[in-house]
Amino acid sequence: MPELPEVENLRIGLEKNILGQKISSVEVRNSKIISGKGTLRTASKKKTKEFESELKGEKFIAVKRRAKNLIFELTHNKTILAHLKMTGQFAYKASTGKTKVTGGPARNTTHSVVGGHPIEISESTLPNKHTHIIFKLEKGTLYYNDTRKFGYVIYFKDKNIFENENHFVNLGLEPLDKSFNVGYLSEKLKIKKGKIKAVLMNQDVVTGIGNIYADESLFEAGINPTRNASTLRKKELENLYTAIVRIIKQAIKVGGSSVATYRLLDETQGNYAREHKVYGKAGKNCTKCGKLLEKTTVQTRTTVFCPRCQK
């Protein structure tokens, strides 16, 4: 699943490509994707009809992000909430045949502009068997593809309805929010009894941190991922706060981490993977002390750490 830096880069890329464009038509090919957020979802003909008819003619006026969620704001106060989950993907193909590359000039290509988890067939064929929603725009087409169909794209008739749903009520602060500081982190963690890595990934203290950035932040802070969150001392909390902010900022700057199947909107890989110190490096030498990095499991996720540097 993409973490905050990857989703933020996708948000930026989508904004550059679709902002201001009117939706000419919408086709929902799999109603479950637009019918709810849970794993067990029932296709709704009513929601499908509303999705297709009420979005037609609207324009994209903003693309925002909260944690790992994308929020599309449209004209007439309408809103779309999207979460890629494990294998969701947005692909935008310009009708001119030119691809607008994030951070560079347009170039001619036979490939689509893809953001999220790449699906091999999407690089040559759009739509394809994994395409579940098609937004025809003025200058191109936006597709939502998903191989395992865990993601969701939900339409709200009014922004107030979306806000009143309190979808983000259980989320903690964004790591780059001004309110996220050592004091906040200390107050939240002192009442937590779980392992510090699990607490960071649970999203109710700080959002957007998953397996990759939890491992990297804890290594930089010198904290063992299996430590109980409530046992962290003042200096350790300061180190952890500093590590989280620095790493998230740097990962956003360089495009995120491309591991497994994640790609950016212009189909390039994020570059932060080159800076990983521990993630995916079990059995290799620690960059600080030279000792072999070890792995364990925290909340079913493979966790890599240095037994000497992380206490």
Contact by Cβ (8 Å): 78, 55 = yes
Beta strands 131-137 and 113-116 are: unpaired
State the DSSP code for 75.
Answer: G
Query: What CA–CA distance (Å, rounded) separates 269 from 158?
Result: 36
- Among 274, 242, 269, CA closest to 9: 269
Query: What CA–CA distance (Å, rounded) separates 279 from 211?
Result: 8
Query: What CA–CA distance (Å, rounded) separates 128 from 144?
Result: 10
- 220 CB-contact burial (10 Å; exposed 0-12 / middle 13-18 / buried 19+): buried
Mind telling me the catalytic residues?
2-3, 68, 301
State the DSSP code for 132.
Answer: E
Buried b (16+ CB within 10 A) or exposed e, 43-63: eeeebbeebbeebeebbbeeb
3 state DSSP class of 86: coil
The residues, ordered by sequence, that sit 6+ positions from 296 with a Cβ below 8 Å of its Cβ are: 225, 226, 303, 305
Residue 157: Cβ within 10 Å count: 13
- CA atoms in the 13 A half-sphere facing the CB of 226: 12
- 126 CB-contact burial (10 Å; exposed 0-12 / middle 13-18 / buried 19+): buried
Contact by Cβ (8 Å): 208, 202 = no
Query: What CA–CA distance (Å, rounded) separates 271 from 268?
Result: 9
Contact by Cβ (8 Å): 91, 140 = no
